[in-house]
Amino acid sequence: MKVRKAVITAAGPNQRALPLQRLVDRDGVDKSALQIIVEEVLSAGVEEIGVVIAPGDAAAYKDSAGSLFGRLTFIEQDHPRGYGDAVLRAAGFVGHDAFLHLVGDHLYVSRDQQRCAQQLVQAATANACSVSAVQPTRESQLAHYGAVGGQRVPQQARLYEVETVLEKPTPTQAEQSLVVPGLRAGHYLCFFGMHVLTSTVMELLKAQQDQGGTLQLSDAMAELARREKYLAIEVQGARYNIGVKYGILAAQLALAMAGQDRQEVLTQLVELLAAKA
């Protein structure tokens, strides 16, 4: 399975301005969040990128993409009907191909030589199936993420066979349906904000569309787990939701601490803490 296309969703009312925010990347270069996300995608060998945006945002996104603009295809989501609807808008763009999907309000910092998207695409290619990136997440954070339950793949320490998918489960629901053997108590496998999905997901979303109402990607992925092989990989890295309180600050610190200016940033932090003390 070759993953040549990617879809970035960024049309949500509380999400659309976040990819336009500017940060300093690990190389000390000022960039938009959109540029950082696109570079993450390109590192995985993706050739074409579709960005789902709100009507009227194309000009701002073009400016924010800078020299990477030529790699992007903008897809407008008018009359939105949920997250799943945003993904479905890219059905014509991806066709029958598997595709990498990322959300536009997350940034990623890898703890491995490979970037997070590279790790994910490599796992999907090796196993020829849909694979979601996940991160063990404490129970108190369940309200912010979709989560999966399942079993470890034998002899694969970071790979899981997905059996159950729930969107923002309560702690009680998670305890009943999402316990994964081997995880620390009170921790669950929550979505990382990136997936490699087969075209079956688009078929399942179209079926939801025919029924009317809001389209939920998590519902389609739960059905995907019942229909075909679907795995999750514990990526060596961390996700940073720039849409939450202090999210941009946390993402910026993570990028800085992983980059060439680490020592300078550490010095400034120590000086700040000393002054406050």
Would you state the pLDDT for residue 104? 96
- pLDDT, average across residues 29-54: 97
Average model confidence (pLDDT) across the chain:
95
Q: What is the pLDDT of residue 175?
A: 94
Single pTM value for the model: 0.94
Residue 190 belongs to domain with CATH number: 3.90.550.10
Q: How many Å apart are CA 111 and CA 76, to the nearest integer? A: 34
Domain coverage including residue 32: 5-276
pLDDT > 80? residue 277:
no
Task: Let me know: does 86 contact 12? Beta carbons within 8 Å.
Answer: yes
* 29, 86, 108, 121, 238 from 204: Cα distances, Å: 41, 14, 28, 22, 29
Secondary structure (DSSP) of 4-41: -EEEEE--STTTTTGGG-EEE-TTS-EEEHHHHHHHHH
Overall number of domains in the chain? 1
- Tell me if residue 135 falls in helix, strand or coil: strand
What is the predicted pLDDT for the residue at 215? 95
What is the pLDDT confidence band of residue 212, given thresholds at 50, 70 and 90?
confident
Where helices occur in 8-167 by DSSP H, the ranges are 33-43, 58-65, 83-88, 91-94, 116-127
DSSP label of 68 = G
